[in-house]
Amino acid sequence: AQSVSQHNHHVILSEAASLELGCNYSYGGTVNLFWYVQYPGQHLQLLLKYFSGDPLVKGIKGFEAEFIKSKFSFNLRKPSVQWSDTAEYFCAVNKGTNAGKSTFGDGTTLTVKP
């Protein structure tokens, strides 16, 4: 069974610090990769996604993620975080041919101190 690991459960940063959240998955075939964000009191929403092509994908609010196939990784980055980035971040993976069983990581809570 595929699994998704997010290594950082809680990250605390000051504003303007750089962010990198790790995500590794176990499935070896074709995958679709996602990062979702859940701001306090709001519903989960898509931050960015990768299906094919350029392994460096850019999402909303200055976030980007790089797919490194050899490392089975899809780490999320942002060069300078803001207080409004405080949220919970989820990495998700599904097999390229079947969206039915998307697997989510355990989530990383990011707290940005003003």
Cα distance between residue 114 and residue 111, in whole Å: 10
Q: How far is the CB of 19 from another protein (least distance, A)?
A: 19
Judged by DSSP in three states, 72 sits in coil
Using CB under 8 A as the binding rule, the residues of this chain from 39 to 78 that contact another protein are 42-46, 49, 51
Q: Does 28 help bind another protein (rule: CB under 8 A)?
A: no
Q: How far is the CB of 9 from another protein (least distance, A)?
A: 7
Q: How far is the CB of 102 from another protein (least distance, A)?
A: 7
Tokens standing for residue 58: 């850019």
Q: Does 26 help bind another protein (rule: CB under 8 A)?
A: no
Cβ neighbours of residue 73 closer than 8 Å, sequence gap 6 or more: 22, 23, 24, 25, 66, 67
Q: Which is nearer to another protein, 55 or 96 (CB)?
A: 96
